[in-house]
């Protein structure tokens, strides 16, 4: 089945630095990828929709200058947490849906392994 | 748009107990329905799915039946194991290439 690979799985960075998280679709082309944030013991919170070749669409309340998204190819989207602070510490997950003959209307989503970001 | 309501946990069961996690949905038309599982420290994995009414999805001993009459997709397992401890999410799509709509998740803990 389709695979989405996310790296790194875990990162610790100093406050004020930037961290880049990569999300790759390994055996299918993903024109759209989705980035989520998950707080401990909570559900997924959609942050943004990443569109290949165009600007990302951010959910209300998500700072686009803080969370930079680039989707330069059909298989790679990146999320950069800029000037990270301890409150940015969280679990970040990417996702993509594969196209079937009828588009994505009824296809499942595939998820990366997640990235645990800790800002110290 | 479509929406899903899922039984909130946490749920704690003894090994070999019967599991039911309720999920009901509101949707236009008859979209596919999904159950995802998230093990500690990992992303989400598709557990099972059903693509039309009366379909039964099954995997790893888990089952869920697409009930159009009651707009439900309850997850069941006859005998849970400690290794089933995880968070379970019910989900369905909206139209187009949009993210799936998820329930809030149900945390299951199985004790030996």
* Each residue's pLDDT tens digit, B35-85: 999 999 899 999 999 999 999 999 999 999 999 999 999 999 999 999 999
Using CB atoms, pick whichever of B44, B98, B104 lies closest to residue A111: B44
Q: Which two tokens stand for residue B8?
A: 């909130």
B25 touches chain A (CB under 8 A): no
Are B46 and A113 within 8 A, CB to CB?
Answer: no
* Alpha carbons B43 and A113: distance in angstroms, whole number: 4
- Does residue A100 surpass a pLDDT of 70? no
- The pLDDT-based confidence of A107 (bands split at 50, 70, 90) is confident
B77 touches chain A (CB under 8 A): no
> Mean pLDDT highest for which of A2-6, A54-58, A96-100?
A54-58
Chain B residue with minimal CA distance to A37?
B43
Q: Which two tokens stand for residue B37?
A: 């599982």
Using CB atoms, pick whichever of B43, B91, B105 lies closest to residue A6: B43
pLDDT at res. B29 = 86
Query: What is the SS3 assignment for A86?
Result: helix
* Alpha carbons B66 and A72: distance in angstroms, whole number: 38
- The pLDDT-based confidence of A30 (bands split at 50, 70, 90) is confident
Beta bridge partners of B101: B92
């Amino acid at each position: 089945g389709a695979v989405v690979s996310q790296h790194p799985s875990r990162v610790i960075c100093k406050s004020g630095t930037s961290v880049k998280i990569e999300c790759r679709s390994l055996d299918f082309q993903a024109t759209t990828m989705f980035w989520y944030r998950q707080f401990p013991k909570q559900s997924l919170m959609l942050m943004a929709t990443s569109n290949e070749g165009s600007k990302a669409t951010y959910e209300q309340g998500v700072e686009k200058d803080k969370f930079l998204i680039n989707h330069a190819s059909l298989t790679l989207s990146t999320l950069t947490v800029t000037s990270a602070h301890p409150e940015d510490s969280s679990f970040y997950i990417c996702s993509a849906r594969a196209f079937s003959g009828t588009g994505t209307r009824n296809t499942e989503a595939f998820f990366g392994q997640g990235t645990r970001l800790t800002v110290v | 748009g479509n929406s899903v309501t899922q039984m909130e946990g946490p749920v704690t069961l003894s090994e070999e107990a019967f599991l039911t996690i309720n999920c009901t949905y509101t949707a236009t038309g008859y979209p596919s329905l999904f159950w995802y599982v998230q093990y500690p420290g990992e992303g989400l994995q598709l557990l099972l799915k059903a693509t039309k009414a009366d379909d039964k999805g099954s995997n790893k001993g888990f089952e869920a039946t697409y009930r159009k009459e009651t707009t439900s997709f309850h997850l069941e397992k006859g005998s849970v194991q400690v290794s089933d401890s995880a968070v379970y999410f019910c989900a369905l799509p909206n139209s187009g290439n949009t993210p799936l709509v998820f329930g809030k998740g149900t945390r299951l803990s199985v004790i030996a």
